[in-house]
Amino acid sequence: MNFSIVKKAVLVAAMATSLTACMTTGPALKSSNSESVAGIEARLPYANYASYFGYIDKGTAPQGTYKEKDAYYLFVWVPAAIDEIGVSMVSPASGTPSDTDFVSDAYTKLNESNPDTFFDTYIVLDRLDIVDSAKISKGGKSLQTLTYNDDSSELPANPGGSTYNSLIRHVSEVSSPTKALVRGVYRISFTSFRSAIEGSFEATVGTNVPGIKIAKSLEELQALVNEG
């Protein structure tokens, strides 16, 4: 009997089990569509997810203000019209970045040595008037605030036991030129009304299209969208 082979087989079986479990539940961010399973209504996942792992260090200059609070931004490139967009933000970051996720330099540098620093998230989603992928870094203005959220019980509680993490969903209204979710740049503003903004965070965007890019500046977003 070769025990190393048996051990390997057990390990593979365990990994397959955990992978299946993971695929069944998926990210905590779910779409507004649901289906009834055994009489229980359950939200369906988005077809595509992209995540950004960031870290706000003490003294990091804010990029703007929201209701007189310091705010930071994430810019999202949506490459085609979408039927819905979902955004979640949790702090501290709880997942592990995959190869296709976006990871800031600050996260790489600071997360490991400060895993317990987190903040109470508050997010706001705006549609910007930037639709040309070659002109993202030229900037633009917000056409409208789509939606916002402070606390969502759909997301895991923070280490303090409070469900203070944020989740939003916004559905496109295709018949309305101002409410249709078209190709272009969207902005996630984040701030906090209960705590200092310091620590790691993980922002996740769910849509029905692949190719979503997320960056902390329009310059970085333009480079990501036009690379390769």
Residue 66 touches Ca ion, criterion: CB under 5 A = no
What's the closest the beta carbon of residue 215 comes to Ca ion, in angstroms? 23
- Site track for Ca ion across 144-173, x = CB under 5 A: ------xx------------x---------
Nearer to Ca ion, 83 or 198 (CB): 198
Complex with Ca ion: residue 92 or 184, whichever CB lies closer: 92
Q: Closest CB to Ca ion among 75 and 164?
A: 164
* Residue least distant from Ca ion (Cβ): 164
Footprint of Ca ion on 90-149 (CB under 5 A): 120-121
CA distance 59 to 190: 16
Q: Tell me if 225 sits within 8 A of 133, measured CB to CB.
A: yes
Peptide bond into 92 cis (omega under 30): yes
What is the number of alpha carbons within 13 Å of residue 19 lying toward its C-beta? 6
CB 192 within 8 A of CB 121: yes
| Count of chain residues binding Ca ion (CB under 5 A) | 5
For residue 114, count CB atoms less than 10 angstroms from its CB and return exposed for 0-12, middle for 13-18, buried for 19 or more. middle
- Closer to Ca ion at the Cβ: 121 or 200? 121
User: Which residues of the chain form contacts with Ca ion (CB under 5 A)?
Assistant: 120-121, 150-151, 164
